[in-house]
Structure 1
């Protein structure tokens, strides 16, 4: 029988391994996502198509989220996360090839698979709480989310070195950073396979016999859990829709690739750097209150970004705040969800939550390109801001039950 001290040691090891792999994988995500819209624009010659980059990335993440959760239920987190990182690695290769031969279908297929890395990234945060003490769910989850900061912030700044690498091997400049993504995802997958031992889900033996997939999760999507899932998905849609078209907006106003990369880096820093603070707030202050804080920050962020015009400083401030609002809302939402569902059902419900998150992001990215091509970036940010209102209403109406912790 595992002692309390032994359980704590195992939990520390799991969180450490997940944190290190998130640093490496986050570098790949940051490098590729920062220029994905520009790759599509370069291949098609149209800003209207640029939003399809984030659409494919998020659809790709959505497509594998539930299958990866099912793999986790049956075989453990280790094989599920490894599979996600390796599919992302394959996607990076196809994106580079598609950019080189100027094939839009190949680029989109590559970005679709690339999105699997996002699914692995997201499910890592839930792996961190499989063995966590209920009073430290927010802390454990946020530490793994925070570890993404290092790689994710450095990643977008690899656009310059990526250009040099691309030219040295004869591929388009914009494909260079995606090469770094390939290396990073491969390393993250190999590290997960070799080091994530013991598997976080091993102690949940009953989960291996439990039903998995969407049908298994749906009966649990009610009350507090429904509020949590909706808050996570809506906040992600706001963030993705604005972030996806920011590089195009900045390029149209004459910003260099280096400035665009710096802006996205600071945005990603906003998403991840203060995540331990958001986790602490969720544990101590309450998940519902932390979600409301995140929604208020998102409203201010879209107002600042939407009125930035050609001001690189203002758009950078707006994007950084956008990341902070996302961080508060998604971390607190994930903690609320984890606490509101019994242990045996968590992997299935968590998978459905990530599916909703990615579909919301894909929908936001799809509309973002169309709205910007039709009415401009300011209209896009205003429309994104309205998505916060239903979340505020739902959280305020459900605060009485938002802090319920189920008996395990």
Structure 2
């Protein structure tokens, strides 16, 4: 075997190990993330004796997630993915323990402060997808990202199903049952941190830098690789993920309200959202394959088209048609998945010297766009109704398509 072949084999072995460790950590952290979010608003409502501030945990959680995204990105940039992700999950675990302590003591101030800290877990969970692509060759970046993203689904399905069990488990200890899922979240985040701290070796980002510095990288310049010939700029990758987050969060947030307002029960709304969440993550292997086969920009355009179809269907579906709204929400989740994986693949080509901090900064804007969408969606529905909100989402999704198309043309023809 030639020297180049030997280095390629070692790199592939290291990448497989990195992905195995990341998948294990994501299963754990997904359980912690989903378990806590499921009952956050209910716990606040119970402690405060009303619904006026029940939505505040979600807002504080998002703020904490945005701040942590920047912090984890910068720490990863300076000390490597292992250190950045480990610290991020450890901070998320402390936040979850703070929520439990707040529930036991009845302290609303501690509760809200802890939700800000707890948001670090979500930011870290999302940042882990970038680590999966650090050592991947350009032709396999989409699939690497998709494996990490899909692993979160396994934990995300497990976590909410343990809500009742954890509540019953902690009740004899004097802990309010609704705080039980946060104890699970603390354990899950701590376990994810331990897995990464002990097993994420070699560090994918640091190793990629070493290989690059030693001129041992086997992959040619991304611009010359057919698999990533359509890779756009950081701005385009960020735009794709921000738009997908805006449209998805806005329509998803108000769909249960729309269903309940038109006579459907909470169980029906729950099924529709469950289908939506499944569509957000389960197609990841297909999305990753498409990104590697076609390039990120064509899949980003497909994301815009899919979100457009979802929004138009949601706007035009009769309020009593649960099947049509279910299809609309499934398309909404699929469009989000296309956008997240294609956008992540674009950012995976950022120069190694600033890769992690750039990715962290982009994730800050993604988190903030989700917060804005969630807040604005209620105002739009109150003023003009759910169909109007969906049509606004359709316009935003449609606007993304020509932007991506222009980026594709410029990439193919630099003189354009």
Contact (CA 8 Å) 2:232, 2:297: kept in 1 or not?
A: no
Residue 372 (structure 2) aligned to one of 353, 363, 366: 363
Call closer, same or farther: CA 1:290–1:199 in 2, change over 3 Å: same
Which 10-residue stretch deviates more, 182-191 or 154-163?
154-163
Call closer, same or farther: CA 1:375–1:159 in 2, change over 3 Å: farther
Q: Which residue of 2 aligns with 1:217?
A: none
Q: Which residue of 2 aligns with 1:391?
A: 400
Q: Which residue of 2 aligns with 1:115?
A: 119
For 2:412 and 2:154, the matched residues in 1 are separated by: 32
Displacement, 1:70?
A: 1.6
For 2:21 and 2:342, the matched residues in 1 are separated by: 23
Q: Which residue of 1 aligns with 2:152?
A: 148
Call closer, same or farther: CA 1:358–1:145 in 2, change over 3 Å: same
The yes-or-no answer on 1:192 pairing with 2:196 is: yes
The yes-or-no answer on 1:31 pairing with 2:40 is: no
Q: Which residue of 2 aligns with 1:219?
A: none
Contact (CA 8 Å) 1:19, 1:147: kept in 2 or not?
A: yes
For 1:47 and 1:380, the matched residues in 2 are separated by: 24
Structure 1 gap segments, 5+ residues each: 209-221
- RMSD across aligned positions (CA): 3.2
Contact (CA 8 Å) 1:240, 1:364: kept in 2 or not?
A: yes
The yes-or-no answer on 1:89 pairing with 2:87 is: no
The yes-or-no answer on 1:78 pairing with 2:82 is: yes
Q: Which residue of 1 aligns with 2:69?
A: 65
For 1:94 and 1:313, the matched residues in 2 are separated by: 41
Displacement, 1:347?
A: 1.7
For 1:400 and 1:314, the matched residues in 2 are separated by: 36
Listed one character per residue, the Cα deviations across residues 107-158 of structure 1 (whole Å, up to 9, x for unaligned) are 3322222221121112111111111112111111111111112111222333
Q: Which residue of 2 aligns with 1:327?
A: 337
Q: Which residue of 2 aligns with 1:227?
A: 236
Displacement, 1:377?
A: 4.6
Q: How does 1:231-380 map to 2 (within 5 A)?
A: 231-246=240-255, 255-256=265-266, 262-305=271-314, 307=317, 309=319, 315-339=325-349, 341-372=350-381, 377-380=386-389
For 2:51 and 2:394, the matched residues in 1 are separated by: 22
- TM-score normalized by the length of structure 1: 0.83
Q: Which residue of 2 aligns with 1:218?
A: none
Call closer, same or farther: CA 1:364–1:345 in 2, change over 3 Å: same
Call closer, same or farther: CA 1:169–1:368 in 2, change over 3 Å: farther
Larger radius of gyration: 2
- SS in structure 1 at match of 2:409: coil
For 2:320 and 2:344, the matched residues in 1 are separated by: 36
Call closer, same or farther: CA 1:244–1:158 in 2, change over 3 Å: farther
Contact (CA 8 Å) 2:77, 2:354: kept in 1 or not?
A: no
Q: Which residue of 2 aligns with 1:213?
A: none
Call closer, same or farther: CA 1:377–1:12 in 2, change over 3 Å: same
Contact (CA 8 Å) 1:47, 1:248: kept in 2 or not?
A: no
Contact (CA 8 Å) 2:308, 2:397: kept in 1 or not?
A: yes
Q: How does 1:93-172 map to 2 (within 5 A)?
A: 93-99=97-103, 104-165=108-169, 167-172=171-176
Aligned residue pairs, count = 390
- SS in structure 2 at match of 1:3: helix
For 1:185 and 1:124, the matched residues in 2 are separated by: 13
Contact (CA 8 Å) 1:29, 1:181: kept in 2 or not?
A: yes
Structure 2 gap segments, 5+ residues each: 214-230
For 1:93 and 1:247, the matched residues in 2 are separated by: 30
Call closer, same or farther: CA 1:178–1:326 in 2, change over 3 Å: same
Which 10-residue stretch deviates more, 230-239 or 150-159?
150-159
For 1:48 and 1:370, the matched residues in 2 are separated by: 16
Displacement, 1:300?
A: 3.1
Which 10-residue stretch deviates more, 4-13 or 292-301?
292-301
Displacement, 1:96?
A: 3.6
Contact (CA 8 Å) 1:48, 1:373: kept in 2 or not?
A: no
Call closer, same or farther: CA 1:156–1:245 in 2, change over 3 Å: farther
- TM-score normalized by the length of structure 2: 0.82
